[in-house]
């Protein structure tokens, strides 16, 4: 953003008292602390959910240990533990004892709604830990890596419709669908409408026509869909990359402004006109009210 634009947007954000939460983000393994601190200065950013990733992966995203450590250092971060589907529900107790507040689910060897996984979700519900499920596409890898991690790398075990069976088996579970994803938004709508305890962290591909079509609908308890969608980026905080690379703080700030303009000025005669604070902040703020920056 150049200086002129920046001051214009900053003025808007200030005037409207914009506040927002990033409900799906990652941390870099190789951290640039200076950059991380700058990213967290995004005006109005009140909380960031940091999701742990698999330690045995070759990738660049931080694992549980690092997520936990940095969340203790920076209270703006809410730590979500990477769930190992090959282990039992005891791990959830350990996560809670260590200080994790949520669970991140991705790449189960069997479908998310396999009966054997219900004990994991039940334990998370008992300990009041929300579970954020990655759904839809992920980068596919070769067979060797699939076997090594004993996990699945296609779409087929991670579909929004699976949240229906989970919610039916574990009604108290706080389920969050991570991402909107092409090809699955009808299933997402079904999960949101039928499951009163399910929300979506809207990172990835935002399907704005879907917002217009469905934000005014209600779930089975009468809660409108716009009250179940949360701002999110799925970007990596603290990434050690070239200066000119767009940083995570700018990313979430720009996205918050976009949603503000959309809901404030492009939604006349829709019941969700002017309700941007719900999507930007309120819908996610309910989960961890003690961890919100002032
Ligand atoms: Zn992610």
Mean pLDDT of 176-180: 89
Residues 164, 166: Cα–Cα separation, whole Å? 5
State in Å: Cα 28 to ligand 1 middle. Answer: 12
Residues 43, 19: Cα–Cα separation, whole Å? 8
Contact by Cβ (8 Å): 16, 260? yes
Confidence (pLDDT) at 55: 80
Sign of CA dihedral 93, 51, 158, 128: positive
State in Å: Cα 25 to ligand 1 middle. Answer: 6
In the chain, what are the domain boundaries? 3-291
Please, which residues have CB within 8 angstroms of residue 251's CB and are 6 or more apart in sequence? 233, 235
State in Å: Cα 172 to ligand 1 middle. Answer: 24
State in Å: Cα 7 to ligand 1 middle. Answer: 31
Among 11-25, 200-214, 278-292, where is mean pLDDT lowest?
200-214
**Does 2 have pLDDT greater than 60?**
no
Alpha helices, DSSP H only, in the chain?
3-15, 33-39, 64-73, 90-98, 118-126, 143-149, 162-169, 185-194, 208-214, 248-265, 276-277, 283-285
Please, which residues have CB within 8 angstroms of residue 97's CB and are 6 or more apart in sequence? none
Averaged pLDDT of the chain? 90
| CATH code for the structural domain at 3-291 | 3.20.20.140
Confidence (pLDDT) at 118: 98
C-alpha triplet 100, 103, 107: angle, nearest 5°: 140
CB burial class (10 A; 0-12, 13-18, 19+) of residue 16? middle
Confidence (pLDDT) at 156: 85
State in Å: Cα 234 to ligand 1 middle. Answer: 5
**Does 140 have pLDDT greater than 70?**
no
State in Å: Cα 135 to ligand 1 middle. Answer: 10
- Per residue in 7-50, pLDDT (tens digit) is 788 888 889 999 999 999 999 999 999 999 999 999 999 999 99
Compute how many other C-beta atoms are within 10 angstroms of the C-beta atom of residue 97.
Answer: 9
164 Rama class: left (phi>0) / alpha (psi -120 to 50) / beta: alpha
- Per residue in 66-101, pLDDT (tens digit) is 999 999 999 999 999 999 999 999 999 999 999 999
Confidence (pLDDT) at 203: 81
Confidence (pLDDT) at 155: 80
Contact by Cβ (8 Å): 1, 250? yes
Contact by Cβ (8 Å): 196, 221? yes
Mean pLDDT of 127-155: 74
According to DSSP, the residues that pair with 178 across neighbouring strands are 134, 201
State in Å: Cα 243 to ligand 1 middle. Answer: 23
State in Å: Cα 53 to ligand 1 middle. Answer: 9
Confidence (pLDDT) at 153: 66
According to DSSP, the residues that pair with 199 across neighbouring strands are 176
The 8-class DSSP code of residue 145 comes to H
pLDDT, greater one: 197 or 151: 197
State in Å: Cα 156 to ligand 1 middle. Answer: 17
State in Å: Cα 251 to ligand 1 middle. Answer: 15
Mean pLDDT of 150-179: 88
Nearest to 260 by CA among 249, 274, 241, 242: 274
Confidence (pLDDT) at 141: 58
State in Å: Cα 3 to ligand 1 middle. Answer: 31
Contact by Cβ (8 Å): 158, 134? yes
pLDDT, greater one: 142 or 193: 193
Confidence (pLDDT) at 183: 81
State in Å: Cα 232 to ligand 1 middle. Answer: 10
Confidence (pLDDT) at 205: 65
- Per residue in 250-281, pLDDT (tens digit) is 999 999 999 999 999 999 999 999 999 999 99
Confidence (pLDDT) at 107: 86
Residues 40, 36: Cα–Cα separation, whole Å? 6
């Amino acid at each position: 953003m150049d200086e002129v634009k920046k001051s214009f947007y900053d003025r808007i954000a200030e005037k409207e008292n914009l506040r927002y939460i990033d409900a799906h983000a990652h941390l870099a393994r190789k951290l640039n602390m200076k950059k991380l601190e700058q990213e967290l200065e995004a005006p109005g950013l009140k909380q960031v959910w940091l999701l742990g990733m698999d330690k045995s992966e070759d990738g660049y995203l931080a694992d549980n240990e690092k997520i936990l450590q940095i969340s203790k250092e920076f209270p703006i971060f809410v730590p979500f533990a990477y769930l190992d589907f090959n282990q039992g529900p005891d791990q959830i107790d350990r996560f809670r004892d260590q200080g994790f507040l949520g669970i991140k689910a991705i790449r189960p060897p069997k479908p998310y709604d396999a009966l054997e996984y219900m004990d994991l979700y039940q334990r998370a519900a008992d300990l009041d830990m929300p579970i954020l499920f990655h759904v839809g596409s992920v980068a596919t890898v070769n067979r060797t890596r699939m076997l090594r991690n004993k996990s699945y790398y296609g779409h087929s075990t991670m579909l929004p419709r699976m949240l229906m069976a989970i919610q039916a088996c574990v009604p108290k579970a706080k389920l969050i669908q991570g991402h909107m994803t092409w090809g699955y938004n009808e299933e997402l709508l079904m999960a949101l409408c039928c499951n009163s305890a399910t929300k979506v962290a809207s990172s990835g591909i935002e399907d704005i026509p879907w917002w217009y079509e469905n934000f005014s609908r209600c779930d089975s308890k009468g809660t409108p869909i716009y009250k179940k969608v949360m701002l999110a980026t799925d970007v990596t905080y603290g990434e050690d990359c070239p200066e000119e690379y767009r940083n995570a703080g700018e990313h979430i700030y720009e996205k918050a402004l976009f949603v503000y303009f959309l809901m404030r000025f492009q939604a006349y005669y829709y019941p969700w006109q002017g309700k941007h604070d719900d999507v930007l902040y309120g819908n996610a703020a309910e989960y961890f009210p003690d961890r919100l920056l002032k």
